[in-house]
Amino acid sequence: MRTVSFSSDPVQQALKTKFVPAVLNTTGGPATGASCKHSPREPAGMCTPGVGHQNVQCLFLTPDGEIFHVATGHQNPEMLAEQLATAERLFTEMKEMPDQARELVVKRHLTTLTELGDAGRDVFNMMGMFDGTFRRRKDAQFCVDHPLMSLEALERRPQALVGDEKTFFASKSSGSSSNQ
């Protein structure tokens, strides 16, 4: 995601003007999945949207460190731009009505769940797995169940967001596999 999604012009513009990005390497953490590694010079492989939720979490926090929106797993540039726009709209609403921030977070994510309907609800729904719908449901449900959870609380209990199952995240690269 770093070399494609985060590097796309719309995402870069949003990050430069409307967000304060930070990166945390969770390698070896209690809820981190396993991934195939590739050489830094090798192009990243194609990834199915939403996979790798234990490896990639985009958390949107208030200045007080409270999580109001999440997007886990691989996000292509369009999906990431959409998540940034959603987070920006929600944060603007929260600033306008600070006493109702928790309710706004729950309402926004309940709306997402309603919009998605039954799509991706069943882990065996293959379309939900391939288009990222399954993870969007999980992410929205996390925000409904844990509105404005502090980052510190999530660090103590990351399973609240990513689950506690063992996962493996892989992608396929059409590029050279040499370790130059």
For the chain, which residues make up each domain, given as ranges?
9-169
Q: Tell me: the pLDDT tens digits for 50-61? A: 565 666 789 999
Query: What is the DSSP-derived secondary structure letter of residue 86?
Result: H
From CA 79, how far away is CA 132, in angstroms rounded? 9
pLDDT, residue 43, reads 57
Composition of the chain by helix, strand, coil, percent to 5? 45, 10, 45
Given a cut of 90, whether residue 73 has pLDDT beyond it is: no
pLDDT, residue 25, reads 72
pLDDT (average), residues 163-180? 53
- Tell me how far apart the terminal alpha carbons of the chain are, to the nearest angstrom: 21
pLDDT, residue 72, reads 86
**What sign does the CA torsion over 42, 172, 70, 91 have?**
positive
Q: Across all residues in the chain, what is the average pLDDT? A: 79
This prediction has a pTM of 0.76
pLDDT, residue 168, reads 55
Q: Please, which pLDDT band fits residue 41 given cuts at 50, 70 and 90?
A: low
C-beta separation of 142 from 136 below 8 A: no
Tell me how far the alpha carbon of residue 180 is from its chain's centroid.
31
As beta bridge partners, residue 71 has 58
